[in-house]
A and B are shown apart, each in its own frame.
Chain A
Amino acid sequence: MVRASPPHPGEPQPRCGSPLLRGVISMMPFVSTRRGSLAIAAMLGLCGVVLCGQGLWIHAKAVLAQILLERAFAQTLATGKAVKPWSWADTWPEARIEVPRLGKSAIVLHGSSGQALAFGPGHVERTPNAGEPGTAVYAAHRDTHFAFLADVAIGDEVRVTRQDGAVFRFRVTQTAVVPWDASDIDPLAPGRRLVLATCWPLDGKFASPLRYLVQAEMIGTAALDSSQAQRRFSR
C-alpha cells in the first residue's frame, strides 16, 4: 500500500501576496492527507451539530418556558401576586393572550428585552396594560411565539387575560408593515387598543428593520371563568 507522503518540512512553499491565501495554501498538503480530511470532516460535523443544537435549543427554550409560565400565571391569577416562573428569571408573566379562532395562546412577559422575548411575547415598555386607555403593544419572535400571526385575519377576536383576572376582548382592525423606529404607535392615543408586533417578513431568515403589526380595538370584556385559571397550556 502506498500512501501519499506528507510534505517534507523543509519544502519551500509558494509565495503569494495575501497572508490569507498563504494560510489556505499552507493547509492544503495537510488537508489532502487521510488524517487531514478526517480531522476537517470531524470539525465540520461538530460545528454542524453544535449549530443545529443551538437552533433547536432556541425553539425548545420557547416551548419549555411557556409551560413554566402557564403554571406561574395560573398561580398569579389565584394569589394576585406576581410570580416568577423560575427562580433566576428577572421577568414575570403579565397576561395571557389568545386567538380563539386559531386556538393559539401565549403568556406575555413583563418587559421586552432580548432575555424576555426568548421565553415569550414581551410587553413593550412605556405602553399601557391591555384594557387601559391607550395602545398596549406586545412583541414576540416571528418564528416562535408569534408564528401564528401569519394566520390572523382582520375581524379575528383576540382575548387578553390580565394578571388581575380581568379579561378583555379585542377585534383585529388592520395590519401594517412599519420600520422598527418609526412605528407611529402612540401609547397615549385615545381609545383602548392592542398591537401585536413581530419581525417582517414573517418567513424571513435574516434580521430586518421592518415589523409586522396587527392592530386591534377593544370590543368588550368577559368574565374570567374558573376553568381558565387552571387551563393547561395548549398549542
Chain B
Amino acid sequence: MSAAAASTITAFRFDQATDLRGIARVFGFAAAVLAAFAGAPAARATAASVFVSPGDMHSGALLLRSTQEGRYVEAPRLGTDVDLTVSGPTARARVTQIFQNPTNGWIEAVYVYPLPDDSAVDTLKMIVGERIIVGDVKEREQARRDYEIARAAGQKTGLLEQERPNIFTSSVANIGPGETVLVQIEYQEPVRQSGGEFSLRVPLVVAPRYNPAPLVQTVDFSGRDHGWATVSDPVPDRARIEPPVLDPRSNPPINPVAITVHLQAGFPLGEVKSHHHAVRTETVAPDNQIIKLAEGPVPADRDFELTWRAAESAAPSVGLFHERLGEADYALVFVTPPAVERSDDKRPREIVFVIDNSGSMGGTSIVQAKASLMYALGRLQPSDRFNVIRFDNTMDVLFGDTAPADPEHLARARDFVAAIEAHGGTEMVPPMQTALTDRRGAGENYLRQVVFLTDGEIGNEQQLFDTISRMRGRSRLFMVGIGSAPNTFLMTRAAELGRGTFTHIGSVAQVEERMRTLFDKLESPVATNLTATFSAGPGDVTPAVFPDLYRGEPLVIAAKLAKLDGTLEIKGTVGGRPWIVTLPLSGAAEGAGLSKLWARRKIADLEVARTMQEVAPEEADRRILPLALDHHLVTRLTSLIAIDKTPSRPEGAHLSRAELPLNLPAGWDFEKVFGEKDSDGEGRPAVAPETRRADNGAYAQVVAALAPSAKPLPIQAAAPTGVALPRTATDAELRLFAGLALCLTSLLLLALRRRAARASARF
C-alpha cells in the first residue's frame, strides 16, 4: 500500500514537474512573441535621421520638401551673415543667408528662422535663382486674399505667418535645379540689461538631427560620455576659407557664419565679452566699437552671446533714448533702482526647486541643471524651508511638504539630485501646479519662491501660462533656462506671469556666476509699487503695470509722447523705504527703432490682458491691428506677404546688380553669388576637391531624401491645413470583443476537455 502510495506520489510529483515545465514553455513562448512585436518599431525608428520639421529648427534654414509628408530636409547652407547694430537699448539685426538646391529638379521649400525673444521682424527679401521677392506687412485675411489673387494670376508669392512667437516661416515655391536662394530678413530686439551688464544673443545652433559640418568627424570622443566633447579647433578647414572675400559656393559642407556687431552703447564702454566665440574688436569712439569674429566665419554650433559693461567711472543707473517718428516721440527709459543692503527684513523663505530631466535635457544641459541645483541647495539658510521636484512625463516630489533646510534634509536632497538622469517626455503643467500649491497660506510669514530649471521644450505653452496665472497666489516664479538654446519666449512670459525673473545658463562655466546673481536677487529686497509720471502730460506707457524689480534689474519703460518735454518721475518702494528719481527728458539720446519696440510691447501687453481675460478678445484685436499695421510688425493678426517683384527681362537676360533690392553683406561678391555658372556648365557649384568621404555621405543622404520634380510645379493650393484634430477613438469595443472571444475559446476548451475525459473514461 505504501509502495503504491509512494509510487503514486512520485508519479504525481513527476507530473507536476512536467506541468510546470510546460507552463513555463507557454509563458516563454508568449513572452517571445510579445518581444518580437515590441522590438520591431524600435528598429524602424533609427532609420530617418536627415528629416526635420520646422519646429525643430534652432537657426535660420531653408527646408526642402522631402519624400516624407510633413518632414523636410535642410538645404545645404552656403553662408550666413549676421549684421547687428546696437543703438543704446535696441539692436537691429540683418541676417542674410544663402542656400542651394542640391538636386537636378525643381523643388519646394520653407524658410524657417527662429527669432530671439521680444524681437520684431519687419523686412523680408528673397532672391530665388533669377526671381526677386519682397515682403510687405498686411492684415492676415487681406494678406491671404492677396496671396490667393496673386497665385490665381500665376505669380509666385510666399506667405509669412506667425506660428509661435519666436519662429517665423515663409514658403518658397519652385526653386530650380541647382539654384541658389538668398534670403535677407531684418528684425529688431531690445538689449537685455541685468545688474550693470548688457547682453545680446543670436540663435545660431543648427537642428540636432542634421549637421553637415565636419565637426563630428574630426573630434575625438574617447573618454567622454554621451558623445559630447569640447572642440578645440572649431574650423577644421580654416585654410580653405579666405576671409573677407568668401565664395559661398565653394564651401558647401561647412555652413559658415559671419557676425559683425556695431555697438553704439550710449555710454563709454568697459568690458566687452563674447561668451562662446573668439572676437576681434575695433574701437571707433569711447562708446562705439565694432566687433567681428576673430577667425572669420565659424560653423553654427552654438549661439552667439555678447555682453558689455560700462567703463568703471561712468556706470549708468539711468539710460534715456528717444526717436521721433511722424507726429509722436517714442521714448525708452532704463532705470536701475539703487541696490539697498538687506535690511532687517530677514523673512525666512519657502523655496521649491523644480528640475526638468526630460530627454531633451540630455548631454550638457542636465549637467548644468544639476550643478545649478546643487549650488542653490548650498545657499539655503537653516531657517528656510525647501522642496525638490524632478519631472519628465512623470513626477517625483522629494518631501511630502516643504522641509526645513537642515543638514539631514539637505543631504537627502543632494542624493536625490545626484541620482537624476535625463530621459522621458516633458509634462510641465503638473509639476508647476504642485510647486505653486501653497500649503501655508498668506497667514504665515514666509517668502514663497519657486525656481524652475528647464530648457522649455514643450508645445502647449498656453496651458502652462493659464496654470501660472491661476495658481500663482503669493509665490514668485523664477525660470532658469538651461542649455545653449532654451525656449526663451516660454521662460520670459512664464516669469512675467509669475512676477519673477528669467536667468539663462548656457554653459557649465556660467552656472556659478549666474546662479549667484539669481540668488542675490532672491535674497535681496525687491522694488515694488513702481509708478512713472510724465510732467508734460500722460503718455502711452508700456508696460501698463510695472513688474516687481529684483536687485540690479532695471525698470524699462517705453512710452509714446506727443512731445519730449519736461521730466519723468519714477516712484517706488525699495526694501520698505520709498524711492523717487526724476529724469529731465531733454537729456535723451537718439535711438533707432524705438517706435517698433514700443508697438511690440503694447501688443504683448494686450495679448497678456487677453489671456488673463481682462480685455475682451474682440477689443484686444481691435487695438492690436492698427498698431501692427502702422509699425509693420508680424503678429497674430498680420502677416508678411512676399510678392514676386521680378522685373520683366528680355529672353536670356540674367539677374543684374541694379535689380537687387538689398545690400549684400561685406565680403559677398555679386559675381561670385549670382555670376555666370561654372565652367563645366552643369549649373552646380564646384565641390571642394578635398571634401571628406564622410561629408559626401551626409550630403548624399540629403539629396536622396528629397523629391524634386522634373519641371516647375504648378503653384500648389497652399490652403492652410487647419487645426490638427486629436485621436478620438477608444479601443473599448475592440477590447470587449477580444475579451469575449477569448472567454468563449476558453469555455470551448473546457467543454472539449470534459468530453475527452468522458470519452477516455468509457474505456
Contact residues of A with B, CB < 8 Å? 1-4, 6-7, 9, 20, 23-24, 26-27, 29-31, 33-45, 47-56, 58-59, 82, 90, 110-114, 117-118, 122, 124-128, 132-133, 135, 137, 139-144, 146, 178, 180-188, 190, 197-199, 204-208, 211
Closest partner residue, chain A, to B140 (CB atom): A188
B736 within 8 A of A: yes
B426 to chain A, nearest CB (A): 13
In the complex, chain B residues whose CB is within 8 Å of the CB of A36: 19, 22
In the complex, chain B residues whose CB is within 8 Å of the CB of A43: 26, 746
A207 to B725 alpha-carbon distance, docked (Å):
13
Decide: A207 near B22, CB < 8 A? Known: A40-B749, A48-B741.
no
B761 to chain A, nearest CB (A): 7
A223 to B720 alpha-carbon distance, docked (Å):
36
Closest 5 CB pairs of A and B: A30-B22, A51-B739, A48-B742, A52-B739, A48-B743
Is there contact, CB below 8 Å, between A90 and B433? yes
A45 to B744 alpha-carbon distance, docked (Å):
8
Q: List 19 A-B contacts (CB under 8 A).
A: A24-B29, A27-B25, A30-B19, A30-B26, A34-B757, A35-B19, A36-B19, A48-B743, A50-B739, A51-B736, A54-B739, A110-B466, A122-B726, A142-B729, A144-B730, A181-B70, A183-B725, A197-B725, A207-B731
A53 to B157 alpha-carbon distance, docked (Å):
56
CB < 8 Å neighbour of B742 from A4, A44, A211: A44
B593 to chain A, nearest CB (A): 28
Closest partner residue, chain B, to A180 (CB atom): B725
Is there contact, CB below 8 Å, between B735 and A51? yes
CB < 8 Å neighbour of B32 from A23, A31, A133: A23
CB < 8 Å neighbour of B723 from A54, A58, A126, A144: A126
Interface size class of B (residues with CB under 8 A): 35 or more
Is there contact, CB below 8 Å, between B742 and A33? no
Contact residues of B with A, CB < 8 Å? 14-15, 18-19, 21-23, 25-26, 28-29, 32-33, 70, 140-141, 429-430, 433, 460, 462-463, 466, 470, 617-618, 621, 636, 719-747, 749-750, 752-753, 757, 760-761, 763
A1 to B759 alpha-carbon distance, docked (Å):
12
B730 to chain A, nearest CB (A): 5
Is there contact, CB below 8 Å, between B724 and A180? yes
Closest partner residue, chain B, to A189 (CB atom): B141
CB < 8 Å neighbour of B736 from A56, A113, A182, A206: A56
Is there contact, CB below 8 Å, between B729 and A33? no
In the complex, chain B residues whose CB is within 8 Å of the CB of A48: 738-746
Is there contact, CB below 8 Å, between B729 and A52? no
In the complex, chain A residues whose CB is within 8 Å of the CB of B763: 2
In the complex, chain B residues whose CB is within 8 Å of the CB of A125: 460, 462-463
A118 to B731 alpha-carbon distance, docked (Å):
11
Is there contact, CB below 8 Å, between A124 and B723? yes
Is there contact, CB below 8 Å, between B22 and A146? no
B253 to chain A, nearest CB (A): 34
Is there contact, CB below 8 Å, between B725 and A55? no
A115 to chain B, nearest CB (A): 10
Closest partner residue, chain A, to B736 (CB atom): A55
B212 to chain A, nearest CB (A): 29
A41 to B710 alpha-carbon distance, docked (Å):
62
In the complex, chain A residues whose CB is within 8 Å of the CB of B33: 20
Is there contact, CB below 8 Å, between A58 and B463? no
Is there contact, CB below 8 Å, between A41 and B462? no
In the complex, chain A residues whose CB is within 8 Å of the CB of B749: 37, 40-41, 44
In the complex, chain B residues whose CB is within 8 Å of the CB of A117: 726-728
In the complex, chain A residues whose CB is within 8 Å of the CB of B761: 1
Is there contact, CB below 8 Å, between B720 and A26? no
In the complex, chain A residues whose CB is within 8 Å of the CB of B430: 90
In the complex, chain A residues whose CB is within 8 Å of the CB of B463: 110-111, 125
CB < 8 Å neighbour of B746 from A45, A197, A208: A45
Is there contact, CB below 8 Å, between A30 and B743? no
CB < 8 Å neighbour of A124 from B725, B731, B733, B738: B725
A127 to B460 alpha-carbon distance, docked (Å):
13
Decide: A55 near B617, CB < 8 A? Known: A44-B749, A137-B725, A184-B722.
no
Is there contact, CB below 8 Å, between B18 and A6? yes
In the complex, chain B residues whose CB is within 8 Å of the CB of A111: 460, 463
Is there contact, CB below 8 Å, between B26 and A27? yes
Closest partner residue, chain B, to A116 (CB atom): B726
In the complex, chain A residues whose CB is within 8 Å of the CB of B23: 30, 39
